[in-house]
Structure 1
Amino acid sequence: MTGGTASEQDNDTGGAQPRNGTALVVGASIIAAFGGLLFGYDTGVISAALLYIQPEFGLGDMMQQIVVSSILIGAVVGVIIGGPLADRLGRRNTLLGVTVLFTVATLGCALTPSTGLLVLSRGFLGVAIGISSLVVPSYIAEMSPPHRRGTLVSLHQFMVTVGILASYIVGYALSSAGSWRWMLGVATVPAVLMFFGLLGLPESPRWLLTHGRPEQARAVLARTRPADHVDAELAEIREAVQTEGRITYRDLLGPRYRRWISVGVAAAGSSQVVGVNAVIYYAPTILKNVGFGDTGAILASVGIGSLNVLFTIFALVFIDRLGRRPLILGGTAVVIGALILIGFLFTQPVQGTVAVLLILALVVYQSAFACSLGIAIWLVNSEIFPSSVRGKAGSFGIVTHWGLDLLVSISVLTLIDLFGGASGVFWLYAVLGACGLVYLYRWLPETKGRTLEQIESDLTARSAKHTHAG
């Protein structure tokens, strides 16, 4: 329990960690989290742009869904190839390549002359998003000391919400001119900033040690940890890394890891089956269909996105104080209640008081999601797995995230038509979310203030206990 004591000492003293080390860790986390900003902007901006792309290219419901979901098909591919790339090239170098792909694909979307090329460019953009969604949280987790890890890893989700809000604001600002190409093209700016920021960052100490560079790993830890913690953490990482490469995907589905794979998948799956991306991608379209004007529908999304950011800040402040379980489980329960209310409101004529209540319910839904399931997918999958299998094991949750995101995005308008309105769709999301909540209540571990290696030890013991009990 030495690592736990060290974490407590850091919390009590405000950190024996050198000030410049703290600045490096925070700076690296912020720069890496620009991947989340790009993720949020590129997925969110289509909600406003689609209102103008649809008439220009004459898109029906199915083609609209293909344009939206093409980025998610690419994201699934990105997650699949992202792990091996990051393991081979390093976290930092992989992210450098991702920023180049972000820039090229974004320009392709903005300059496209046809629907086909738009779909193709968004597919490549999705590859960049998928890779960054896997690598960014891992890089931040591996750079962070235990007592700050929850907050710093959650910066990724915070930047996702900032990106979504920025996309809504840009969409609203350009809505009067219908300039959807500029809406899409603005994302080149953060991609370029991220590229130059990454040039000054070190590689993850875990990756360096894994690839036979112990002195470089020690140097990074010496810059980011208290001096009396460096040797202990280096030893913990070395012990975990010794099993690297001996674990196969078949092993991950065996008794030792199966339970924790399922927790990562449940966290990722629950974050999608509550329909958050139906709101992010289609809120303006849905609101327009029930009587809002184009600009009014986009403006409503700006309000929703603003509170999304505020409540993510709330999660950042309290995730390492309250712990993971209270925020994730409590917020998910509120999400489910809001979905039930939204479904009911869509059964009523959407005007006057009902319209106001609908916007408020969407605000509550998005805000609760931001400080619960919104952070769960990235934080849980970056914490609960042993260092030696984190890349492979985490990919199960991330693939689940993008696969279900794709399923939601390509089906929401079709389901609305099938159910004869949006109410049935939101009630379906509520039922699926309740199933996820029950599972997470049973199995989600509390990981607040613990080293990644301590979490590994505890989960391995618990898994063995349940295996023997079975």
Structure 2
Amino acid sequence: MGSYKKNAFTYSTIVAMGGFIFGLDAALISGTVKFITKEFGLTDLELGTVVSAPGLGVLLALPLAAHACNSLGRKKTLLIIATLYLVSAITSALAPSYWSLVAARFLGGLAFSSISLASMYIGEIAPPKWRGKLVSMTQINIVIGLSAAYFINYLIIQLLDSDALWISDLGIKEHTWRWMLGSEIIPAFLWMVLLFFIPKSPAWLIYKDRIKEAKHTLQKILPADEISLQIEEMKKSMQNNTEGRSVISQLKEIFSSPMRVTLIIAMTIAIAQQATGINAILFYAPTVFEQLGIGTDAAFMQAIWIGLTSVVFTILGLLLVDRLGRRPLIIWGMTWIILSLGICFYGFKTASYTISKDDISEMSTLSNTERLDEIVNVKYGSDIEFKNALKGALGEVDARNFSGELIQKAADIDAILILIGILSFIAAFHFSVGPVMWVLFSEIFPISIRGIAIPFFTLITSLVSYFVQKFFPWQLGTMGISTTLLFYAIMVGVGLIILYKYLIETKNMTIEEIQLALVSKLKKDK
């Protein structure tokens, strides 16, 4: 590997670490759900607020990030983001109250724009034939971060059964969720340090008319005979751009007639990616697995399988994105997602729930078990019916605190089928729309507006993600798990129909060639 190739790979790897921190930050909360719910006495919507707080933060951050990455540059903006991750991790672990925890996680959400900026930066320093692989490294790091979070949570849960003195001294049993959230501090600090060693984006330098500095950066990542051509192509892409263009004028260009096909592709995939419900599964993984009636410890263990499946299929998607192309991975991947959600829907829809007297007698931690006498040996046809019966018998608080254990005892469910469906869904997402959306975002916008366009459409996908995270506990409590999964499948189906009509293939094309192909697609549709 030549030195310029090694440099491009090294810089991309460092920047893509933002994906790892994102994945870690996002999934660590999944292990804390029961602990913070009990400690702060949270309702379903309050729990959704804690989990979704970063999603709300990123809605504010993305417009600011769009301005910062154009005015301050990609590198400085990434450094600010890394600092926010670090501060959020520290304050989350030390949060003394429910609202301080929400505020600390909201602060972390301000850093979630790292995903869009990472794909932007890598797309601007990567050679065209490597762009798909290098941009997808961000998604690889996200799923590695997710896996690390699930493993950390599982490890901490296992430590709770130990009588070792050091566990007591560190307060792990008393402050379990704080140790989970605090585990992000060290990797966040490491990423912040490493970002000092990356160069400024050559595309941004040309945007600022700092041609000499851009050449210096390009010398590190391209062969000498390709530098002049690359600079000319970047200039051509920005020929309609002026230094003083406002955000509004760039947004108007995104919504203009010549950009109609690009707008449809970007808007559809931005909505469809999160409408799959992926973050409901990832951020509430142990809670989802508890619906299978396998118990808390097993639920944490199964969450690790989600992480491992994510890693394996993201790597597979990375290896094939430049071979098979973006369009086949998106179209067939979304079809696979719909089928997987259908399997889960069927498994939950055919489940039944019956609690026996013997089951109740085994629950030593539940007081006044006679309250359940009225529902003993009554067969309930869905999880929502059973949960409503528990609320009626035990009240809101005890029903919430003991529902996992009671479902484990009462469920008559094909857990293996649903587990296969969930893991198939995770595999399909991370093989297709997970990484490929970011590849498309790094390719389909001209350089003149990409500093606004990528954060804008990331804002759209973040808004959908926020609603999914916010309302998932409420959906479980009011709609039930089967209906919720069916809703996600229908949303993905709508997106699939639109993308089948409009999505073009972009593999092995320069950004300028992609713009010509999109214009050609627009003319054909008229």
Shared fold per TM-score greater than 0.5: yes
Which residue type is aligned with residue 418 of structure 1? T
Structure 2 unaligned residues grouped into runs of 5+: 161-172, 353-407
Superposed counterparts of 1:220-259, under 5 Å: 220-245=217-242, 246=245, 247-259=249-261
How far does the alpha carbon of each residue in 1:325-380 deviate from its partner, in whole angstroms, 9 at most, with x for none?
11121111111001011011112148687112211111111011001111133111
2:380 corresponding residue in structure 1: none
Superposed displacement of residue 460, structure 1:
2.8
Instruction: Confirm or deny that 1:168 pairs with 2:227.
Output: no
Instruction: Confirm or deny that 1:285 pairs with 2:281.
Output: no
Structure 1 unaligned residues grouped into runs of 5+: 1-17
Instruction: Confirm or deny that 1:342 pairs with 2:344.
Output: yes
Question: How far apart are the structure 2 equivalents of 1:251 and 1:358?
Answer: 45
How far does the alpha carbon of each residue in 1:254-292 deviate from its partner, in whole angstroms, 9 at most, with x for none?
101132122111111111111111101122113224423
Aligned mate of 1:146, from 112, 123, 128: 128
TM-score (norm 1): 0.92
Instruction: Confirm or deny that 1:98 pairs with 2:100.
Output: no
Question: How far apart are the structure 2 equivalents of 1:387 and 1:32?
Answer: 19
**Would the aligned equivalents of 2:62 and 2:456 in 1 still touch at CA under 8 Å?**
no
Question: How far apart are the structure 2 equivalents of 1:353 and 1:53?
Answer: 28
Which residue type is aligned with residue 186 of structure 2? V
SS of equivalent residue, structure 1 residue 383? coil
1:214 corresponding residue in structure 2: 211
**Would the aligned equivalents of 2:117 and 2:455 in 1 still touch at CA under 8 Å?**
no
**Would the aligned equivalents of 2:292 and 2:415 in 1 still touch at CA under 8 Å?**
no
SS of equivalent residue, structure 1 residue 412? helix
Question: How far apart are the structure 2 equivalents of 1:106 and 1:244?
Answer: 39
% identity of equivalent residues: 32
Superposed displacement of residue 409, structure 1:
1.0
Superposed displacement of residue 197, structure 1:
1.3
Aligned length: 448
> Which has the greater radius of gyration?
2
1:187 corresponding residue in structure 2: 184
Instruction: Confirm or deny that 1:201 pairs with 2:198.
Output: yes
Q: Structure 1 residues 23-32 or 374-383, which shifts more?
A: 374-383
How far does the alpha carbon of each residue in 1:361-419 deviate from its partner, in whole angstroms, 9 at most, with x for none?
11111011001111133111111111111122223321111000011111112222222
1:47 corresponding residue in structure 2: 30
User: What is the RMSD computed on CA atoms of the aligned residues?
Assistant: 1.5
Closer, same or farther in 2 for the Cα pair 1:289/1:361, shift >3 Å? closer
Question: How far apart are the structure 1 equivalents of 2:291 and 2:524?
Answer: 53
**Would the aligned equivalents of 1:263 and 1:443 in 2 still touch at CA under 8 Å?**
yes
How far does the alpha carbon of each residue in 1:235-268 deviate from its partner, in whole angstroms, 9 at most, with x for none?
0001112322454322321101132122111111
**Would the aligned equivalents of 1:267 and 1:397 in 2 still touch at CA under 8 Å?**
no
How far does the alpha carbon of each residue in 1:218-245 deviate from its partner, in whole angstroms, 9 at most, with x for none?
1111221122211111100011123224
Which residue type is aligned with residue 35 of structure 2? Y
2:431 corresponding residue in structure 1: 371
2:509 corresponding residue in structure 1: 450
Question: How far apart are the structure 1 equivalents of 2:131 and 2:39?
Answer: 46
2:264 corresponding residue in structure 1: 262
1:271 corresponding residue in structure 2: 273
Which residue type is aligned with residue 133 of structure 1? I
Which residue type is aligned with residue 134 of structure 2? L
Which residue type is aligned with residue 24 of structure 2? Y
State the 4+ residue runs in structure 1 displaced beyond 6 angstroms. none
Q: Structure 1 residues 360-369 or 191-200, which shifts more?
A: 191-200
2:296 corresponding residue in structure 1: 294
**Would the aligned equivalents of 2:28 and 2:149 in 1 still touch at CA under 8 Å?**
yes
**Would the aligned equivalents of 2:30 and 2:283 in 1 still touch at CA under 8 Å?**
yes
Superposed displacement of residue 463, structure 1:
2.6
Which residue type is aligned with residue 118 of structure 2? V
How far does the alpha carbon of each residue in 1:92-126 deviate from its partner, in whole angstroms, 9 at most, with x for none?
11111111111011101011111110000100100
Instruction: Confirm or deny that 1:393 pairs with 2:453.
Output: yes
How far does the alpha carbon of each residue in 1:21-63 deviate from its partner, in whole angstroms, 9 at most, with x for none?
1111111111101111111111111111112111111112111
Superposed displacement of residue 185, structure 1:
1.1
Superposed displacement of residue 324, structure 1:
0.7
TM-score (norm 2): 0.83
Question: How far apart are the structure 2 equivalents of 1:384 and 1:286?
Answer: 36
Which residue type is aligned with residue 429 of structure 2? F
Question: How far apart are the structure 1 equivalents of 2:412 and 2:319?
Answer: 36
Aligned mate of 1:437, from 488, 493, 496: 496
Instruction: Confirm or deny that 1:126 pairs with 2:87.
Output: no
SS of equivalent residue, structure 1 residue 445? coil
Q: Structure 1 residues 384-393 or 307-316, which shifts more?
A: 384-393
Question: How far apart are the structure 1 equivalents of 2:237 and 2:524?
Answer: 21
2:384 corresponding residue in structure 1: none
Which residue type is aligned with residue 473 of structure 2? L
Question: How far apart are the structure 2 equivalents of 1:144 and 1:56?
Answer: 47
1:65 corresponding residue in structure 2: 48
Aligned mate of 2:418, from 334, 358, 368: 358
